[in-house]
Chain A
């Protein structure tokens, strides 16, 4: 399972509040990713990281920020949550064999 955990696994929050999701990996992979999954859209890339303090935007980055201060942790922050950010969020790592492995997901509901 590539040693990926996500926390929290479920979260309910109110519009306008900040929310931080955490991804933790135990195998020192360089690349880490945050995706969101919505019906009809598959998995869409929000942000990714290619090393400590090195991050870049993905397809749907508006309203999200990330930080990576340690190799093992990649944080996703919703600066001011909106109902359109209700989704399931997945963290992933990429191995040297160019394969991504995913965490179990965080289900976020913004009321």
Chain B
């Protein structure tokens, strides 16, 4: 039973438009969430994180929104660039076991020029 779900395996967006990647979780104990980006043949790279005490965190073109009541978070990329084409993983961790993360299956984003 997946505790962290990314229900869209893939997403295509036009360059310059907004990309919205979604993530849902089932464990109400999760209190810290992260997004990673992964290019082929490379390790995942950290993008942005958010604590459950916040509902939004922004870093340049990347913004993460957290809706605790819906157990849902989303990553917005504005404007999307061809270099953003990658697989994006959502991850979550719980307070007492904050050292362990649970990852979603990933969403492949393609930004079309």
Contacts and interface: CB of A to CB of B under 8 A. Distances in A.
B103 A43 contact: yes
Given A48-B99, A98-B32, A41 B44 contact: no
B44 A43 contact: yes
B44 A45 contact: no
A84 interface: no
A102 B45 contact: yes
Interface residues of A, number: 22
A104 B34 CA distance: 19
Given A31-B99, A48-B99, A98-B98, A43 B89 contact: yes
Interface in A55-104: 58, 90, 94, 98-104
Interface string B40-77: 01111110010000000000000000000000000000
Contact of A44 (B42, B44, B46, B103): B103
A59 B43 CA distance: 20
B106 to A, nearest CB: 5
A20 to B, nearest CB: 19
Nearest to A38: B105
Interface in B61-113: 89, 91, 93, 98-101, 103-106
B44 A90 contact: yes
